Every structure is written in C-alpha cells, then in structure tokens.
Amino acid sequence: MPTWNPWHGCRKISPGCQNCYVYRIDARHGKDSSLVSKTGDFNLPLKRDRAGAYKLSGTETVYTCFSSDFFIEEADEWRPEIWRMIRDRADLRFFIVTKRIHRFHVGRPDDWGGGYENVTICCTAENQDRADSRLPILLAEPIRHKSIICEPLLEALDLSSYLTCEIEGVTVGGESGNGARLCRYEWVLALREQCVRAGVHFFFKQTGARFEKGGKVYWISRRFQHSQARKAHIDYPD
C-alpha cells in the first residue's frame, strides 16, 4: 500500500491522540514528534524512476500524511504545493485522514470546486463528542469523497444522523500498543447496525490490543488484530 508522508510530526488535539502511534514510534528513536517538518518524500508523486516512469503508478490509492495531520497549522505554507501535486496526478487516488476537518478550508485551492475527484477526506470520530463536533463540518464541506474512521473507538457511538448518502464508508478499529484502551465488540456491532440501516459501507479494520467480547477481555497481539477482525465477518456489504 503506497504511503506518502510529505511532512512528519504532529500535536495532540483529541482523546484519540493519547497513544498516537507516531509518538510511540518516534519515542523509540528519541525523536520529538511535536516538531513538524517536511520529509524527503515531499514531492513523491512527481518522482520518476530511471526509465522516466512515475514511482507511484496510476492504479494505486495513496495513503497520504499518515505520520502527521494533513491540515495541521505548521503545514499551511506547504499545503498549496501539495494540492497542486494531487491535482496534477489525477490518475492516483489520495486518501487523507484528519482530526482537523475544521481547518479543511485553510489554503484550499482556487480550482477545488466541489472537490477533486481523486481525493477522499476521511474524518476521525473516536467518541461522541468528537463525532458531534467534526462530522457536521465534514458533511458541510465541498468534498467529492467523504468517509469516517472510528479508530481508536473509545465508546459507544450514535452516528445515525451523520450517515447520509454522502458518506462512502465507516471504518472501525480498536487501539494498539501497551497502553491501549478497551474496545467493546458491542460498540462495533452497534456501528455496523447503523451503517446497514443507512446503506453505508462498514469495515471492521482491527480489534485493537484490548478487546472485550461476551463479557471477556482479550489481549490481542499486534499481528493478530487485523485477522481477528476479519474472522468476525461483519463487513458490510460482505
């Protein structure tokens, strides 16, 4: 899965950030995650190999800015250039996850219109408070492809009023790492039920490390968190 991290580092702004994997990984190398800086991959979509072909081929979804937040303030001056690259690589699909949808409008390109066809903006909603704050903004903004991710899922959520025909999918997952907070299967199933009722795609991505099902709490190692979720067979549609 191609990943493009044009900048690295972020500041925590939300309960879902508590055990941020960027901070956990950087801590192993003594790196300060709160410093936001451009990476060597800043212009990756424009890079070519020796034969002159783009390094990122035209059939791929590019997971964009997964070691920061695309809309963080420190990147405001860099984002216009990034938007130009995204527009120029219309053959690629760019998938952007954010906890800062309230800053989506900052530096938006003049030719954005109703949204670039090759961009999906995925808004994080880890608890009801953040869902009620962010999802009305996601729905109101001119974005061609919108989706929601509830990860780490921290409590039972009612998203039913936000699951309009504009939302292309809801992804759900627990939290990883030694300090992971509990994710309950009943919360996952309740979100699935809301998606089925609304006709919105639902994807149970991973269980997280600390998962409760049927009154029992399981510790699940990182390498089994995705496969255990797949074994539940609850994605919608199948």
Give the footprint of ligand SF4 on this chain (CB under 6 A): 10, 12, 16-17, 20, 22, 68-69, 99
Of 99 and 145, the one with the shorter C-beta distance to ligand SF4 is 99
* Closer residue to ligand SF4 (CB): 194 or 225: 225
C-beta closer to ligand SF4: residue 138 or 234: 138
Give the DSSP letter of residue 55.
Answer: S
Helix ranges restricted to H, 166-217:
185-198
What span, in angstroms and rounded, lies between the C-alpha atoms of 187 and 156?
5
121-152: burial string, b at 16+ Cβ within 10 Å, e else: bbbbbbbeebbeebbeebbebebbbbbbbbbb
Minimal distance, residue 167 CB to ligand SF4, in Å: 20
Q: Is 214 helix (H, G, I), strand (E, B) or coil?
A: coil
CA gap 54, 89 in Å, rounded: 10
Q: Which is nearer to ligand SF4, 99 or 210 (CB)?
A: 99
**Smallest gap from residue 211 Cβ to ligand SF4 (A):** 20
Burial of 159 (0-12, 13-18, 19+ CB in 10 A): buried
- How far apart CA 162 and CA 193 sit, in angstroms, is 14
- Smallest separation (angstroms) from ligand SF4 to the CB of 170: 18
Nearer to ligand SF4, 89 or 99 (CB): 99
Task: Round to whole Å and give the CA distance between 141 and 143.
Answer: 6
Identify which of residues 124 and 228 has a Cβ nearer to ligand SF4 in the complex. 124
